Structure 1
Amino acid sequence: MPAAAHARSPSGNTLSEKYIQDCFHSYLKSSLTQAKVERLLDADILSSAEGDLMITGPALCLYFAALRCTTNPPAVPLPRLDKHAAPMDLSAENCPPTFQSFLQVWSRTVPIIQGFTPEHQHDLARVICNLPPLSTPPEEPVLGVAADLRAVAIEISQRRSFQDRYADDLQAALDSGSGSGNGNGNTPSSPGPGQGGTIPKRASFVPPPSYDVTSPTSSARSRSTLPGAAAPLNPIQPHDHDHDLPPPTSQPSRSRSIILSPTSPAIEFIRETLYAALGDVLERVPSLQSMLNQDPPRAYFASVAFAILDVATTSMIPDEGGSVVGVLGTTLSVDECPSEFRPFMLELGVIGREAKGMEEEDQLMAVEYAQRGGGMGEIPATRMDRVKSMLVNGVGNEQRRREEDEGRGSPAGRAVAFANRVNGLSLALTNLKTFRERQEEVFRVLAGIGG
């Protein structure tokens, strides 16, 4: 499907954010419905909003929009919210500044997606939905495009305007049609109520607490009440992780939480361990403090993502199946976690191992540059540097890096995929009820530090 026509939207007439949001959610409802029809998502997943559906949904929307695109340069064909309105595209000329980075990353993927064979396009949709691709081995460009689309979706899912409307989008997909696929090719019939059928499923997605902080505490007071602030961790410089983790006795011990007791449930231990790292993270990443004033919800998610990376790389015990040293100097193993929380601990361990491997590769790259006689100033940004930059600045910043240093990025987008993994765990944890119980309190503390 070549992108041949020019964008039909008026040049220089910026569309409102509200209009773009309305168009996006209209697209999202149809995309989720189409994914259900194609058995990429089933009704149980849509109703429970389990896994990373908050990422999958927007990524599917971007994928289907790329297939529909007919313009060059790529522009999003907007749905007609008013049947009397003229057709319009979202282009670089009329896109609100807030969404420019999303449009730029999406535009880069359009010719790649349209150049895929139908089989690889279907593989891309499956990868977006966390289903295995049918091609073996999967095409690297498919994995790279999926990583980019999911990265944009993560940033969209962190917006409060999206969170407040997502349950309605899920419900619209659940209400469409009478059948629901199960993701394996089987489509059981679902007769309606009163006909011996099942009760209609309801979307259970609940947005996280609002982050409106009207009276933030002072910086000094906030620091004294932040879990872990009484004894902050030693600052970790960018390349301090390029060595084996020290033995458990010399690992940093997360300081005492204000509410955690030795008998607290495992998920509270995980929560307090991550929250205890936030103060130290904010000290080391000044850009997060600035973001707290400019975009509070995004700053919260970015801070938790950095805390996950911090704990995964400094507090995981090697060769012990994912045990972590946390608050109170206590060690928690995967076996000690209730079964419903083990996936989170296992994912934390995977992130720690991948981060260690990435840093070792970065170190080898630096040695290779030095052996070729290049000065330290000529070494491009490492993958871990790119990951940390994306956690704060988003995938749009990574795309600019690629354009400046095209030969550095891998086709599979490994840095993007790893940042997505960290962000995905952050979103999954912060959507748990146990985390939501303290998010507002912790966010007020963070806002006080940022102020």
Structure 2
Amino acid sequence: MPPSKLDEEYVQNSFHTYLKSSLTQAKVEKLIEDQVLASAEADLMISGPALCLYFAALRCTTNPPSVPLPRATKSAPPLELTADNCPPAFLGFLAVWAATVPRIQGLAPHHQHDLARIICGLDPISIPPNPECTCIAADLRAVAIEISQRRTFQDKYASDLQAALDAGSRNGLKVKTSFVPPPDSSSASSPSSVLSAFPPRSPSPLILTQDTPEIDFIRETLYSALAVVLEQITASPTRNPHPLARLFKYDPPRAHFAAVSLAILEVATTEGIIIPDQNAIMCVSAREIGGHKLTLNACPGPLRPFMSELISIGRDAQMMQVADNDATIKAIEKGDEDIPEPMFERVKVIIIDGVRVSGDSAESGGRRRRGSIEGRGVTFANRVNALGLSISKINAFREREKMVFEVLGPRP
């Protein structure tokens, strides 16, 4: 008889217990500063869970890797999370994490510290840097992104951040985190500002409101792309539904984030929207025929990091598509029967399905997915997903987002 699966809520609560201690440890080791914990930068939704996975890998002593879980009571027997008792919803996360354990433990101590720094968006100290650290960080951040897209995680993350802030606080002074969970598709949006998604390292008095025209231009451009993505989902045939159509049925929060990320890719690769060599975006505008050209220099300071990353993603996505086309043409010219999977298509698969460790499995068009979770595809998908999470924290973008999904999104 197979072992019974652990309760999903119990595993969730255990993760948050470890997350609090991981954030506190990162604070002690100066990987994350108090002001970052307090400001609740958008990337903290990714680096926090990724650090938790990293510390768990360092502590792991079993083979195959497992996670010791906190005891429900003092008299309860010790319990470990394994592939046999893991709830199905978390099995993919556990598999990817388990694959990183021997890689992390095989690193030299100084490279392990570099890995933690990379997870937190800091530069590695070692010269030259170990490329394996970058690959492992991408895998951990990919899992962290999927975790952070879960509503149950978002609802509890503020208390995790606050616990880390309170740890070691002196003179009775308490700093309160400003983290506010992104609204789910079934609730009204909660107040936020662009500063909470991309807070500057130094305080700034500038607050962007919904009347800021630059936000309006970018917002309408993203909404237009989101409409295209949602139309592709709803227009797909019943016999062969769009992958996101299935995701909307069994995991609406993840489908919501995936749709936003695909909309970012739509903006990035639609000809004429992103103009990398001019650091500009040709935005949708109801008043200007042909659109409004918004340059990075004309963008308000708090919005500039967001726009800069969007332009950078556009530049890299366009180069990726060119490289994919060149590789396909070369394979055809050589008469190769095994046409390489385009990296750009791989990125979209990761955004929709998440990162997984699996053997080769048949995919559409006769292609086969690689068992490896390493590669540029994971890193690039992480960037797109991270930008999507950041968008969800900006009130000016999300204030009408719910309406877009309600009107154009797939019906349950």
Task: Report if TM-score (shorter chain) is over 0.5.
Answer: yes
Q: 1:94 to 1:35 in 2, by over 3 A?
A: same
Q: 1:365 to 1:273 in 2, by over 3 A?
A: same
- Any idea what SS the aligned residue of 1:395 has? coil
Match of 1:300 among 256, 259, 266: 256
Match of 1:360 among 322, 331, 353: 322
Q: 1:155 to 1:446 in 2, by over 3 A?
A: farther
Q: 1:70 to 1:301 in 2, by over 3 A?
A: same
State the partner residue of 2:182. Answer: 208
- Whether 1:274 aligns to 2:255 is no
Distance 2:292 2:315 in 1: 21
Match of 2:298 among 336, 355, 358: 336
State the partner residue of 2:350. Answer: 390
Distance 1:363 1:385 in 2: 12
CA contact (8 A) 1:305 1:426 kept: yes
* TM-superposed deviation, 1:265: 2.3
1:191-214 Cα offsets, whole Å, 9 max, x none, are 313xxxxx4110110011232389
CA contact (8 A) 1:289 1:450 kept: no
Q: 1:17 to 1:135 in 2, by over 3 A?
A: same
- Whether 1:316 aligns to 2:278 is no
CA contact (8 A) 1:65 1:77 kept: no
Match of 1:325 among 283, 286, 291: 283
Q: 1:335 to 1:168 in 2, by over 3 A?
A: same
CA contact (8 A) 2:355 2:373 kept: no
Unaligned runs of 5+ in 2: 189-209, 234-241, 363-367
CA contact (8 A) 2:42 2:389 kept: no
State the partner residue of 1:133. Answer: 124
- Any idea what SS the aligned residue of 1:77 has? strand
State the partner residue of 2:17. Answer: 26
Distance 1:333 1:308 in 2: 18
State the partner residue of 2:69. Answer: 78
1:155-196 Cα offsets, whole Å, 9 max, x none, are 000000000000000000000113xxxxxxxxxxxx313xxx
- Any idea what SS the aligned residue of 2:68 has? strand
- Any idea what SS the aligned residue of 1:153 has? helix
CA contact (8 A) 1:326 1:332 kept: no
Distance 1:200 1:264 in 2: 34
CA contact (8 A) 2:23 2:51 kept: yes
State the partner residue of 1:161. Answer: 152
Distance 2:24 2:142 in 1: 22
**99-108 vs 132-141, greater mean Cα deviation:** 132-141
CA contact (8 A) 1:282 1:288 kept: no
What amino acid sits opposite 1:208 in the alignment?
P
- Whether 1:289 aligns to 2:245 is yes
CA contact (8 A) 1:68 1:77 kept: no
**284-293 vs 269-278, greater mean Cα deviation:** 284-293
- Any idea what SS the aligned residue of 2:12 has? helix
State the partner residue of 2:311. Answer: 349
State the partner residue of 1:119. Answer: 110
> In the comparison of the two structures, how many residue pairs are matched?
372
- Whether 1:381 aligns to 2:372 is no
Scaled by the length of structure 1, the TM-score of the pair is 0.78
Q: 1:11 to 1:140 in 2, by over 3 A?
A: farther
Distance 1:401 1:157 in 2: 27
- Whether 1:416 aligns to 2:357 is no
Unaligned runs of 5+ in 1: 1-9, 179-190, 194-198, 215-260
1:18-61 Cα offsets, whole Å, 9 max, x none, are 00001000000000000000000011000111140000100001
1:46-77 Cα offsets, whole Å, 9 max, x none, are 01111400001000010011111111111112
Scaled by the length of structure 2, the TM-score of the pair is 0.85
Counting only pairs closer than 5 Å after superposition, residues 248-263 of structure 1 correspond to structure 2 as none
1:83-126 Cα offsets, whole Å, 9 max, x none, are 32222111110000101110111111011001111011101100
* TM-superposed deviation, 1:267: 1.5
Q: 1:164 to 1:136 in 2, by over 3 A?
A: same
Distance 2:225 2:63 in 1: 46
User: Aligned Cα RMSD in Å?
Assistant: 2.3
CA contact (8 A) 1:213 1:444 kept: no
State the partner residue of 2:40. Answer: 49
Identity in percent: 53
Q: Which has the larger radius of gyration?
A: 1
Q: 1:446 to 1:85 in 2, by over 3 A?
A: farther
- Any idea what SS the aligned residue of 2:275 has? coil
CA contact (8 A) 2:47 2:120 kept: yes
Distance 1:143 1:350 in 2: 19
CA contact (8 A) 1:308 1:426 kept: yes
Q: 1:401 to 1:388 in 2, by over 3 A?
A: farther
What amino acid sits opposite 1:358 in the alignment?
M
What amino acid sits opposite 2:181 in the alignment?
P
What amino acid sits opposite 2:213 in the alignment?
P
- Whether 1:66 aligns to 2:57 is yes
What amino acid sits opposite 1:38 in the alignment?
E
